[in-house]
Structure 1
Amino acid sequence: MDGVKKIATRQSYGEALVALGAEHDDFVVFDADLAAATQTGKFRDAYPDRFFDAGIAEANMMGMAAGVAAAGHVAFASTFAMFAAGRAFEQVRNSIGYPHLNVKIGATHAGISVGEDGATHQCNEDIALMRTIPGMTVICPCDDVEARAAVRAAYETDGPVYLRLGRLAVPVVNDRPDYEFHMGKAFTQRGGSDVTLIATGLMVQAALGAAEALEAKGISAEVLDIHTIKPLDVDAIVASAEKTGRVVTCEEHSVIGGLGGAVCEALSERLPTPVRRIGVHDVFGHSGPAVDLLHEFGLDAEGVAREVEDFLGR
């Protein structure tokens, strides 16, 4: 995708908050001393009276956001995914999820593509953690267009929302006239008949690149963009699996409990189908340039195409 505009979804998040703030004055933004990295600093600069820095105290920040939401407002609480889903899990579960409050968690720097920050900051478990919380909506947008739409949808959704966002600038693929974002609904990026590639986050771009390479080898791959992992669009997944007979899931997350697990759970109940899961296989990440790490873990177009060919016995 050389020559295509690239934007990090964390940047889209910050800019979307500013745009939303111009339309609505009933929400506030919290951050845990990472406003420059999470891009919430843009909102702070535009609306300083509606921005609160909780310091390096993520669990406290979730409690503060819960208090604001309990008082009838909407709160966005932002930090790295490792801290939002990991360090503050108890507060997210008990103070936000249990009372079903309008707190929207902007979790940036998720996955292997955090790069040089290393294994401790490369959160590959957050989708699994968040989707187990009853009533929690989980969204993982793939590009700038989708991320901006996701922020607006999160604001409009009743109850807690987990927004999974990335550090790495990624190609914009949804700047197209037929694209529409609907919470809980898959978007078919590309039709196909031989295999279904079900992807989320930056793996949508990898799946599209793989589908192009596979087409040159006579393999027709359908690509489903699953931006909303919970609630999952089971009907779209079943319909595509019924058409192609083979499914490959693609995620920048552990294959345990993430998109691949959710898809397997759905298909096992509705339409048992052979599935290959592409993601992080029960290992920690490590330090290195983001693009190199994605290649090493097979989370790029080349890696996806190779796995699909192996899965199909080609």
Structure 2
Amino acid sequence: MTAMKEPRDGYAQALLELGAQHDDVFVLDGDCATPNYTIRFRNAYPERFVNIGIAECDIIGTAAGLSLLGKVPFANAYANFLTGRGYDQIRVSVAYCQRNVKIAGHNAGTTAAQEGATHLPLEDVGLMRAIPDMTVIVPADATEMHKATLAAYEFDGPVYLRVGKLPVPELTGEETPFTIGKAVTMREGSDVTLVSTGCILSEVLKAAEILKTEGVKAEVLHVHTVKPIDAEAIVTSATKTGAVVSAEEHSILNGLGSAVAEVLGENLPVPLERIGTRDIFGLSGTMDELFDYFGLRAENIADAARRAISRKA
């Protein structure tokens, strides 16, 4: 059985390691240190932890100021409020001013399901992707979140990390490569390319197994970095398979689906089907219930693959 783990756990562990190795690491939060697991950093390095309170704009502004002092701040809050309320500060004080700030959006996607529509961000990746010079990373599991956090520290420039709350399957290992901006081929195939980002990877891999029983060889391309997108990997795979499906636990508007459509439209027009939420707000429920409600399951992805294959010239 595949192990289940919270992505926020991998994030918190990486912060502890960075704090031990680098005196310039600061962590900021807004009264959510316990659910965000940043309390672990606070307990270990209280002199480098700042609780701003429920004031997302101030969290970003303070982080930008710390970066001016040569610090590497990790700004934490719930993703919907951090990217929504803090958008202007992220855009101007961080990105426009080229500040080395790492922005961690917690409770992201359907992991916020039971907290209701207002707390369920399905647009955060799109908001961050639209900002110039912003790097956007959506890890699949806790192990990859750990790697992404360490890589974000080494990266010079603003980074948005999408941090999931609830346990998801551990599908990557220590041996799985992680480089910002480089996709990972999780499965080789020749009939259709399944491009995924984030925790929906488990459903994508299940869809590939479903298709295998039908004689369809699906290639699975995991794109943990939505921006900059690995256009070369997508085009290379699409050239081989001739059909593509994108899958994300996020709106298809300005998320992974849009990014893949842009790459294919500019380089290699092939049939593309997009799995994700479709111009809709979230609602209360469990994570499993919302995966069903939004049509993010393996069978939905397999159906999309069948449609894409049927549209091949």
- Other structure's SS at 2:118 match: coil
- 5 Å-filtered alignment, 1:273-292, equals 273-292=270-289
1:294 aligns with 2:291: yes
1:247 equivalenced with 2:244 (yes/no):
yes
Kindly report the root-mean-square deviation, in angstroms, between the aligned alpha carbons of the 2 structures.
Answer: 1.2
| Alpha-carbon separation, structure 2, partners of 1:27 and 1:113 | 27
Letter in 2 for 1:39: Y
Q: Secondary structure at the match of 1:299?
A: coil
Question: What is the DSSP-based 3-state SS (H/G/I as helix, E as strand, rest coil) of the residue aligned with 2:164?
Answer: coil
Scaled by the length of structure 2, the TM-score of the pair is 0.97
Q: CA deviation at 1:311?
A: 3.5
Query: In the alignment, what sits opposite 1:206?
Result: 203
Residues 5-32 of structure 1: per-residue CA shift (max 9 Å, x gap) = 1111112111110111111111100001
Q: Is the 8 A contact 1:78 1:106 kept in 2?
A: yes
d(CA) in 1 for partners of 2:4, 2:218: 24
Contact 1:295 1:303 in 2 (8 A): no
Alignment of structure 1 residues 126-165 onto 2, 5 Å: 126-165=124-163
Task: Describe the superposition over 1:133-174 as per-residue Cα deviations: whole angstroms up to 9, x where unpaired.
Answer: 111100000011211110011000111000011112111111
- Per-residue deviation, 1:83: 1.1
- Once residues 56 and 126 of structure 2 are traced to their aligned partners in structure 1, the CA distance between those partners, rounded to angstroms, is 19
The alpha-carbon deviation at position 313 of structure 1 amounts to 4.1
> Matches of 2:37 and 2:299 in 1, distance apart?
31
Distance 1:153 1:207 in 2: 25
Residue of structure 1 equivalent to 2:4: 6
In the alignment, what sits opposite 2:19? 21
Structure-2 residue corresponding to 1:262: 259
Residue 69 of structure 1: which of 67, 70, 79 is its match?
A: 67
1:44 match: 42
Which whole-Å CA distance do the structure 2 matches of 1:87 and 1:284 have between them?
A: 17
SS class of match (2:119):
coil
What corresponds to 2:166 in structure 1?
A: 168
Q: Distance in 2 between matches of 1:86 and 1:260?
A: 21
Deviation at 1:187, TM superposition (A): 0.3
- Structure 2: state its 5+ residue gaps: none
Q: Residue type matched to 2:35 in 1?
A: A
Residue 301 of structure 2 corresponds to residue 304 of structure 1? yes
- List alignment gaps of at least 5 residues for structure 1: none
Q: Which residue in 2 is equivalent to 1:34?
A: 32
CA shift digits 1:237-288 (9 cap, x unpaired):
0000000000000001111100000111111111111110100011111000
Q: Which residue of 1 aligns with 2:185?
A: 188
Q: How many pairs align? A: 311
The one-character-per-residue Cα deviations of 1:95-132 (angstroms, maximum 9, x if unpaired) are 11111111100111111231111111111111111111
Q: Residue 221 of structure 1 corresponds to which residue in structure 2?
A: 218
**Percent identical across equivalent pairs?**
49
* Shift in CA distance, 249/99, structure 1 to aligned 2, threshold 3 Å: same
Residue 308 (structure 1) shift: 2.0
SS at match of 1:182: coil
Give the aligned residue type for 2:15.
Answer: L
User: 2:133 & 2:216 partners in 1: Cα distance?
Assistant: 39
